[in-house]
Amino acid sequence: MPIRLILLVTVFNYLNENDQQAIRDKVGSSSRWTDKKLIILLAKYFDFERLKTEPIIAEDILLYNFLLYDCFKGNNISFKECKLDMQSLRIRRSALLNKYENEVIRPQLDAISRVENFIQ
């Protein structure tokens, strides 16, 4: 599963409908969204610190740690102020991201699929 999809699914769980739509409009207006650009866009609408301080589920800390330690190496970032150093950003799959995907995202998507099949 693309990293972009994992980020979008998680962040959309936290955002109100207006912010979700704003992101949809911006992402839909361009076909060239890299993971880096998407993180910068999401940071304008969502404080990634909430994954640590106000998690919806305990496993959200895995995504926070993935971003902080695997992508930014713990340096040159301020999620709160949207000051993300693009030079230090390295987005690659890691054990943390794989664990988050398998424990949180895939079950969420599977549940949605089952409900859609049930409704039809």
| Span 4-26, average pLDDT | 92
How many folded domains does the chain comprise? Answer: 1
Is this prediction's pTM over 0.85? no
Q: Give SS3 for 85.
A: coil
Range of the domain at 99: 3-119
Strands 83-84 and 77-78: antiparallel
pLDDT tens for residues 73-88?
655 455 554 455 555 5
Residue at 14: amino acid letter: Y
Question: What tokens does 106 get?
Answer: 């895939």
Indicate left, alpha or beta for 75 from its phi (over 0: left) and psi (-120 to 50: alpha).
beta
Side-chain-side CA neighbours of 57 within 13 Å: the count stands at 12
